[in-house]
Chain A
Amino acid sequence: MALKNERDLGFKSLLLGVLLTLGLFGVSQPAKAEYADVVINNYADAAGMRPAVFPHWFHRIRFRCKVCHADLGFKFKAGGNKITMAKIIDGQFCGACHNGEVAWSVENCAMCHSGIPGTPTHFHGSTLQRLVAPAYRPLDAKKASKK
């Protein structure tokens, strides 16, 4: 099965082929993305939107943890905040800064909603994810994004 799939995909999707093979042989996917990137997909997939990707590294250069996690009320849990666009436009969560004053505002949809469709909510590169639940991405995730 694995070999047939790889042949069908051709040269351009060689990377996907490698990933598929790795997945089929039970090898955990290599953690490539930046440490502490969070994919938030509570509602995005269902709404036909790409999941949002939050880069911790970019924000911690500009703000201390306290600003978001104490003042703005972000819980220490990926996907535990039930963030919706309505709340953001209302000035809660991301909307406290992403309002066109402190940072760019919400009309730049694709800057946040840039994840591969079908990627579940998770904390990228976390110990828990590496040790307990490494396979987080469905094998046909890339195929779905091409449609």
Chain B
Amino acid sequence: MNYKNKMISVLYAVVIAVCGLGIAGQAAAGSGVSEVRPLLLAAADVSSANIFNRNLKKPKKHNPPPPEDGIHDTSNEATFSLQAPLEAYKGLPKTTFGNRVDWVKAIDQGLIKPRWDRLDSNEEPFVMDLDIVRPVKASVPDVVFPHRQHTEWLFCSNCHPAIFIPQKGANQINMSAILLGKKCGVCHGKVSFPIETKTCKKCHSKPKPKDWKPPLSEATLKNPWK
């Protein structure tokens, strides 16, 4: 009896081995995909309701080529011969706002060499390295305005005196004016980096001293019941 049982188990083993070999052979022959496919199907069957941020806005596609950007006419043949932004941005430092290119870094690292003169490629810009600190009444960090990055691109007469009077304390600037396209907003929010929560710290970059306290309003100071 024992011997018979052993024989049967050996027979089973042989059958299983042969089956295994057969499957392995099939897999080796390339038809093994049928073994993997059920796994993939199972993954695809899982509900898409389980993803993160399901109800949030879909991420926008950035830097679309001209025919897909919504302002170029696709019935115009030349639209298709215009360069796509991403083609030009290859290799340039990235950001997460505006054109998604860090233009200042690109120029500092010599990755782009825009002309300072219409015709002469060798003319150097008139760069002035002077930081202006503007104290801010509110608790946000003070503003540091760097002339260097600006004079890399612009000429003095672009800003002075029409937009900013070149005199200490002569310019009243506030965020509402900037958001409405005045003062810094003449460029920032249109061409240069936009005013977004991601970019606050680019200007508001000098932290307040540790003992800083918000200034008390006149009404508070005059309050007889204080």
Contact = CB atoms under 8 A, between A and B. Distances in A.
B73 A114 contact: yes
A56 interface: yes
Sort chain A's interface into a size bin: 35 or more
B45 to A, nearest CB: 28
B112 A116 contact: no
Contacts of A66: 116, 125, 153-155, 158
A61 B125 contact: no
Interface in A81-139: 96-97, 102, 108, 110-111, 113-117, 119, 123-128, 131-132
A4 interface: no
B73 A64 contact: no
Contacts of A64: 114-116, 125, 152-154
Given A36-B191, A61-B112, A76-B187, A115 B72 contact: yes
B88 to A, nearest CB: 6
Contacts of B77: 110
Contacts of B71: 33, 37, 39, 53, 115-116, 119, 124
Interface string B71-109: 111011111011101001000000000111101000000
Interface residues of B, number: 52
B109 to A, nearest CB: 14
B115 A62 contact: yes
A145 B72 CA distance: 11
Nearest to B84: A34
Contacts of A37: 69, 71
Please report whether the interface of chain B is mostly helix, strand, loop or mixed according to DSSP: loop
B5 to A, nearest CB: 69
Contacts of B85: 34, 55, 57-58
Contact of B69 (A33, A56, A102, A146): A33
Interface in A25-74: 29-37, 39, 50, 53, 55-58, 60-67, 69-72
A63 B154 CA distance: 11
12 contacts: A29-B70, A31-B60, A32-B61, A33-B64, A36-B99, A57-B85, A57-B101, A60-B153, A61-B112, A67-B117, A102-B118, A110-B76
Interface of A: 29-37, 39, 50, 53, 55-58, 60-67, 69-72, 76, 96-97, 102, 108, 110-111, 113-117, 119, 123-128, 131-132, 145-146
Interface of B: 60-61, 63-64, 66, 68-73, 75-79, 81-83, 85, 88, 98-101, 103, 112, 114-119, 125, 152-155, 157-158, 179-181, 185-191, 194-195
Given A60-B103, A115-B71, A126-B190, 18 more contacts: A32-B68, A39-B71, A53-B71, A57-B101, A62-B114, A62-B115, A65-B158, A66-B116, A67-B118, A69-B154, A69-B158, A76-B158, A111-B82, A115-B73, A116-B73, A127-B179, A127-B181, A127-B185
